[in-house]
Structure 1
Amino acid sequence: MSKKVIKLTNLKSTLKNKINSEAEIVFTNGCFDILHVGHVRYLQAAKAKGDILIVGVNSDLSVKQLKGEKRPVVPESERAEMLAALEMIDYVVIFDELTAKNTIEELQPDIYVKGGDYKIEELPEAEVVHEYGGKIKLVKEVKGASTTNIVKEILKRY
């Protein structure tokens, strides 16, 4: 497992010890079940918003609750490892909750990024980000690029 995949408590102390006050911390989150070009472009855009990119990954338990019994296709440890291998990502943290509210509250990143398929006022994490004075940025969605579409295409072909 990569050193970039880190538990939340360790990440908090790592950030305190390593980061100067000028560094802008960016946080985003998702299931990242089958990594695809939409994820890569989204993560590149998120990294461009600041200096340090932290990616929260839904645990297997929370993916099942969000996406259904047949998901995730790829286990959390492998999803986290693949994300950690991407150069634009500085840290990966796995969380069990359905939303990243608790993780965001703990880390208090300067910027919270989500895809353009969301509306800021509909994000469950928005209230927490606004409470501590963080910013929320939406990045352009890659139309049609989704794990669901990949699974549908595989089923159609095979």
Structure 2
Amino acid sequence: MTESKILTHEQAVHQANQWRAEGQQLVFTNGCFDIIHLGHIDYLEKARQLGDRLILGLNTDASVSCIKGPNRPVVNEYARARLMAALAFVDVVTFFGEPTPLELIEAIRPDILVKGDDYTVNTIVGADFVLGRGGRVETIALVPGYSTTKLIERIKQSY
């Protein structure tokens, strides 16, 4: 069942269009989501509460390596996608391998674009596009002390 939430770009766009036709508010966020932790859960749950459906753009393994370095991701893209899809508040997971999710955002056309509060509206990729269509851009407060990088460092120090 969780695998059915993992869609290609084309399938994700089709599903978004269906939901939009039904009058549902679409929320979009993106990220690497490597080694799932409380911060991810809290963030995604709050993102979903902003609308009717949450579409998650997940970085491919290659794009995670470009962003985070050659030793990342720790968890491969298929496993990360399945973990994200298993969350009740995530409606669709779709991959993107481009340097930014702009192309995916433009195709999905979300009503609400969400990132963590380590970003500002001016630094969120796709914000201009979403705002230009009359949508909203929101930031969500991150849970202090939780990040995959910090978790990896803690594990390395412990062993």
Q: TM-score, normalised by structure 2?
A: 0.94
Residue aligned with 2:16, SS? helix
For residues 18 and 98 of structure 1, the distance between their equivalents in structure 2, rounded to whole angstroms, comes to 27
Aligned CA-pair RMSD: 1.3
Separation (CA, whole Å) in 1 of partners of 2:34 and 2:86 = 15
TM-score by length of structure 1 reads: 0.95
CA contact (8 A) 1:26 1:51 kept: yes
Contact preservation (8 Å) 2:57, 2:95: yes
Length, aligned pairs only: 158
Q: Following TM superposition, by how much is the alpha carbon of 1:98 offset from its aligned partner in structure 2, in angstroms?
A: 1.9
Q: Which residue of 2 aligns with 1:49?
A: 50
Contact 1:108 1:134 in 2 (8 A): no
Counterpart of 1:155 in 2: which secondary structure? Answer: helix
Q: Which position in structure 2 is the counterpart of 1:60? A: 61
Q: Stretches of 4+ moved more than 6 A in 1?
A: none
Q: Which runs of 5+ in 1 are unaligned?
A: none
Q: Is the 8 A contact 2:109 2:130 kept in 1?
A: yes
1:109 is matched with which residue? 110
Cα distance, 1:3 vs structure 2:
0.2
Deviation at 1:97, TM superposition (A): 1.1
Q: What whole-Å deviation, never above 9, does each CA across 1:44-99 have from its counterpart, x for those lacking one?
A: 10000000000110011110111111111111111000000000000000100121
Matching of residue 71 in structure 1 with residue 72 in structure 2: yes
Q: What stretches of structure 2 of length at least 5 have no aligned partner?
A: none
Distance 1:118 1:61 in 2: 23
Correspondence 1:71-150 to 2 at 5 A: 71-150=72-151
Q: Is the 8 A contact 2:20 2:26 kept in 1?
A: no
